[in-house]
Amino acid sequence: MKKDTNSGGVVTRIPEPILSTFVFGDVRTSWFWLLVRLYVGWQWLDAGWEKVSSAAWVGPTAGGALKGFLAGALKKTAGAHPDVSSWYGDWLKNVVMPHAATFSWLVAYGEVLVGIALILGLFTGIAAFFGAFMNMNYLFAGAVSTNPLLFILELFLILAWRVAGFLGLDYWVLRWLGTPWSPGDVFKKK
């Protein structure tokens, strides 16, 4: 542990373990993260494309398929040990169901965008976050399927964001834009 007294107070800094530094921050692991990214991205793109191609998700009857999914989730709020928490059921019933068409478009295009971003390695950490957010909502709604696996892989992609998109567009985009704590070329004064 290191103590830093430069900031006027005492701050304890715990160094990152060597293994996590290698796995989540070393560009030599970027090949592994590329495979994870491509798998998760394809899962999202495939699921989203199926929805975007369906009239029940984004066409004239948008929201129809989502209403069916929501009805199933709301049935799971009953019983002694419900699969869906009552608070989440209330959210689905009072907020999502009345605006099913809007949420239907958000889900369909959100899945496609997350898939494309992960496959291209563009804003990988942010795309993985939104993928994990959608997986978490599906899990709260009682839909298990591949959601736990994708959620775990997305958490790892979030942790590895510095190198997960290294073999992708992040290699150039992050150099150009930078991060909030380290501005990229576009924000540097000349």
What are the Cα distances from residue 71, in Å, to 64, 75, 92, 151?
A: 11, 6, 9, 24
Inter-residue contact 170 to 121 (CB < 8 Å) = yes
Inter-residue contact 124 to 166 (CB < 8 Å) = no
Residue 1 has pLDDT above 60, yes or no: no
In one letter, which amino acid is 22?
F
In one letter, which amino acid is 66?
L
pLDDT, tens digit (0-9, with 9 covering 90-100), for 64-120: 999 999 999 999 999 899 999 999 999 999 999 999 999 999 999 999 999 999 999
Residue carrying structure tokens 């293994």 = 19
Tell me how far apart the alpha carbons of residues 164 and 32 are, in angstroms, rounded to a whole number: 8
More confident residue, 16 or 189: 16
Residues 153, 158, 164, 168: is their CA dihedral positive or negative? positive
pLDDT, tens digit (0-9, with 9 covering 90-100), for 130-173: 999 999 999 999 999 999 999 999 999 999 999 999 999 999 99
pLDDT, tens digit (0-9, with 9 covering 90-100), for 4-29: 556 566 778 888 899 999 999 999 99
User: Environment class of residue 15 by beta-carbon count within 10 Å: exposed (0-12), middle (13-18) or buried (19+)?
Assistant: exposed
Q: Is 4 helix (H, G, I), strand (E, B) or coil?
A: strand
| Residue 6, pLDDT score | 62
Instruction: Retrieve residue 148's tokens.
Output: 């736990």
> In the chain, where are the structural domains located?
31-165
**SS3 string of 45-112?**
HHHHHHHHCCHHHHCCCCCHHHHHHHHHHHHCCCCCCCCCCHHHHHHHHHHHHHHHHHHHHHHHHHHH
